[in-house]
Structure 1
Amino acid sequence: MHYGAHRDQYVQFYEPERITARGAVMIIHGGYWREKYTASLGVPLAQDLAARGIPAYNLEYRRGPGSAAKMLADARLALGLVKEEGPITLIGHSAGAQLACVLAAHDQRVSQVISQAGVLDLETAQRLKLSDSAVEEMLGGAPLGACNPVELWPMPARVVIFHGRDDGDVPPRIARIAAQKAAALGQEHSFSLFDGDHYTWIDPHSSQWAACVRALSPLHY
């Protein structure tokens, strides 16, 4: 389903053969906001959710230098295509978790964000120059605060912070800092560290993905 004229303004809908869950889940892929990383990263997760009876949407959005405002605009339009009644959970991997949190802060339809190795503290990520200064590239001069999840808390949606101890792409300290700020700001959240690296979260056969699925139960089942 396209929600705009640009080639990257589309969302893939995976409809279960038999719906057994309430609401829907939207997958938001990562890739440090760069165009070479696409929604194909989220397909296995969306397929797995649909097989479990959960309506799943896999988001593609405009990325690249200076894309901060475009990404949020795209995510808001795509969220408008979700037709199911009930709670909506956003599952964002890496940079996708940043977008998921910003979207949740702007749209009260979102009940929960599950952050898989998320870049939730842009200030720290910028200071560490992660992925060759990807944060500065994405911002393109836009104000950091408007795009920084930890500066948009508290928000109504619950945030589930998952991270791998062996993550070499987004250091676990990002997750720890985000969890500390969530607690200080009164943001409803949970925080768990797992064995594994940055990519185990998007393997539908991993125990890390199984933890993400379990996190859906209180809302969707």
Structure 2
Amino acid sequence: MAASRAALTRDDLKLKVTVQRGRLDGTAFRVIRPARPLKNGALYKAPHWYEMYVDRTDGRRVGTLMLLAARSPRSLIYLPMRTTPTAPGIGWDNEKPFDLVLAHRAVQFRPSRWKQLRERINAGNAPRELRTASIPARDLPADHEFDPSERSHPRHGTLLRQAVYAETLFLTGGTTAFREAARHIFAVTTDGPPRAATELYLPGGCNYHVCRSFYDWQDLVEHGWNQFHVEFSPRWAR
């Protein structure tokens, strides 16, 4: 029996989050993370690209956090993904698990300071506030492809810049950039279930042929970045 296409509902754009505040050298930083750990959302660094695996539920949590980053010019969005149970098919190319931090460019946070801030917010006595993040459905762009010349135009604003520190990938950009990334992730979670019900699983490459990439090749060559590839995988941990 084929799986449904899992259309979005209003609940898909709501998420329980934990809000924390850490201070470095007299400056306070606001950090938002999912209130419960991801179990079926993982990020790995292969030699020349980043690979994110998501099931429908956690993929939509990640997409919602991308939309939250677009609306949070004063916050860091932290996804602790190194401790997620290992996704199926990992290990054939020396992949290493990575955490992910989403930072609106207005935050102006230096990634080199992340390890120190992470230690402070992860301390056992660090205060935490539980909240519900709710994103308007209009924030999620319609799923259509841009012409590569439009994507590379400086005014288009869809590029997420990359930096790596302390086993963490930082993606930094503006509102449009994070909304475009969320569009790709939600598309994978929508198209993935029916394809997984009928297609062959391909370990190590484009599971069920349901995947998206954040960058076109011109972006990578120009900036010296690694591709960010998102693949659908049915729930692998409970």
Report which of the two has the higher share of strand: 2
Report which of the two has the higher share of helix: 1
User: What is the TM-score of this pair, normalised by structure 1?
Assistant: 0.30
Structure with more contact order per residue of length (Cα contacts < 8 Å, sep ≥ 6): 2
User: What is the TM-score of this pair, normalised by structure 2?
Assistant: 0.29
Structure possessing the higher radius of gyration over alpha carbons: 2
